[in-house]
A and B are shown apart, each in its own frame.
Chain A
Amino acid sequence: MDDEMDGGKADEGVLGFKYRNREVADKVLQRLREMDLNIRIMHVCGTHQDTLIRFGMDELLREVGVEIRQGPGCPVCVTTPHEIEEAMCLARKGCTITTFGDMLRVPGTGESLADMHTQGYDVRTVYSINEAVKIARNTDNDVIFVAIGFETTAPSTAATLEHGSPPDNFKVLMCHRTIPQAMDVLLGLGELRLDGFIDPGHVSTIIGIHPYESISEKYHIPQVIAGFEPLDLLMAVYMIARQYRSGEARVENEYKRLVKPDGNQRALQVMNKVFEACDVKWRGFPVIPDSGMKLRSGYEQYDARRQYEDILQEIWDMEIQEPKGCMCGEVLRGVANPEECGLFARACTPRTPVGPCMVSGEGGCNIVYKYGKNRI
C-alpha cells in the first residue's frame, strides 16, 4: 500500500479521527483473508474509485479474494452524446454555455465544447450554478447551465431555481440523474455476477439509506454506504463480506458521520418541488425509467429544452454512434476494465480522449491512467 496510508499529511479527519491507520487496515485485510472469499463488489462513485486506485487498494483486496468494479458512477461519463450535442447546438446559436470543467472535453459526434471555445463560441467553465447565474445577471444573452450530476449536485440546481431568483435569460439544460435506478437496471441486465454494492457516500448524504432497500430485497444483494477514506472503503468491503457470509442482504451505513437514514430532507423537498422524475438514457445503458429529472410546470421559463425546442429538434432526431472501438459503455456497466479496451493508453489518453471515461477525473479510464498503472 502507498506510503501515504501510513499517515502524514492527510492523516487526520476533520474531527481529528484517523481514517488512514495502516495497522487497522492490515487487520481488516487479515479478517477478509480469513473469510476465504471469492466475491465481486461494485461501487458507483468516481471518488471511491480514486481512493481505491490511488492507495493500491484494488490489488490488496484482490489478494484477499475481493474484486472491485466501478459502475456508472461518473456523471460526465454517463451523459449522452445527444446531451453534449444539445449544448453545442445552443452554443452555435449564440447562447452562452456554462458547465462543470470535465464536460468541456468530452467529444460529441466529433467536436467537444472545448473545441467550440477555441473557435470563439461562448463556452465557460463554472465551479457552481451560482457562478452561472452571476454570468447571466451581467449579460442580455441567454446563459445555459448544463446541469449534470447525481443527487449530490441536483439540489443546488433546484434551490437556485426556487430561491435564487435567476434572471429571465438564465436557462438550464437538465442532465441530472439518479443512481439507485441505474443500480437496479444494471443488476436486471444480469451481465455480471455481483455480490455487493458499495453505495456512494455523498449521493446518500442527500437521499439517505431507504432508496437502496428495494434493490437489496429484489436481488438479494448486500449494500454498504461508504465514506471516501481508505479505511471507510475497507470497512465497507468487510461489512459486505460479513453479510455475504451470513446470507444477509440489507443496506448498512458505514458513513454515519455524514449520512442520516432519511438523508437531507430540505434538499429532497426542494428537488421534489422543482423536479419530477423522467425516463432518460445513460451512456452505455438503455433508457432507465425514472432516472432523470425534468423541470415541473411552473419552471418552464428556465427549461432550455422547452425554450429552444425548435432548434434542438434536429439533435433529438440524430442517430449518434459511440466512437469506434470505445468501450466506455462496457466500463460504465462494469463488464470491462479500462485496460481491456483496445484504445486505452494508445489512441485514447487524457490528452487525446476518445470517450468520456478518459476525460473525467472520475472516469475509470482516466483514474487508472493517472496513477500510472498498466500503461502501455
Chain B
Amino acid sequence: MCLAIPARVESVNGSMAKVDFGGTVQEVNISLVDAEPGDYVVVHAGFAIQVMDEKDALETLDLWRELLEHESVSIT
C-alpha cells in the first residue's frame, strides 16, 4: 500500500508529468513536489511524493561508512 516506485521525469505538463519506470512510461500527478525533467521521483498511487537527490543518497552511504568503518571491524 505504501509502496512507492522510483521513476525518471521525462516531461512536465502543468500538474502532470510523463515519468519512466525503467521502460514503462506513465502519466503521474506531480503537484505535491517540485520536479523537472531528468529528476528521479518516487511515485505512490499515481502521485509523485518526493524527489530523490544524489546528495541525500550519498549521505546515506556516508552514514553507513561512519557507522561501520569507524569501529572495531572495518567494512572495507
Contact = CB atoms under 8 A, between A and B. Distances in A.
Q: Are A and B bound to each other?
A: yes
Given A24-B64, A256-B59, A264-B33, A360 B1 contact: yes
A204 B75 CA distance: 29
Contacts of A231: 64
A251 to B, nearest CB: 14
B44 interface: yes
Contact of B29 (A74, A130, A227): A130
B73 to A, nearest CB: 7
A238 interface: yes
A149 B73 CA distance: 42
Contacts of B42: 202, 205, 258
Contacts of B2: 45-47, 73, 75, 149-150, 152-153, 200, 202-203, 362
Interface in A35-50: 45-47
Contact of B45 (A149, A205, A267): A149
Contacts of A349: none
A73 B1 CA distance: 9
B63 A264 contact: no
Interface residues of A, number: 58
Interface in B9-32: 15, 29, 31-32
B1 A102 contact: yes
Contact of A24 (B50, B56, B75): B75
A46 B2 CA distance: 8
Given A17-B61, A130-B46, A149 B67 contact: no
Contacts of A15: 40, 52, 54, 57
A155 B31 CA distance: 10
A233 interface: no
A131 B46 CA distance: 9
Contacts of B40: 14-15
A111 to B, nearest CB: 22
A143 interface: no
A163 interface: yes
Contacts of B45: 100, 127-129, 149, 152-153, 156
B31 A264 contact: no
A351 interface: no
A13 B54 CA distance: 11
B50 A205 contact: yes
B60 A256 contact: yes
A68 to B, nearest CB: 18
A209 interface: no
B67 A239 contact: yes
B59 A74 contact: no
12 contacts: A15-B52, A31-B68, A34-B73, A102-B1, A149-B2, A163-B15, A202-B2, A203-B2, A205-B50, A239-B67, A260-B50, A264-B50
Given A130-B29, A202-B42, A264-B50, 10 more contacts: A13-B57, A31-B71, A46-B1, A47-B2, A149-B2, A153-B2, A155-B32, A155-B49, A238-B67, A264-B32
Interface of B: 1-4, 6, 15, 29, 31-33, 40, 42, 44-47, 49-50, 52-54, 56-57, 59-61, 63-64, 67-68, 71-73, 75
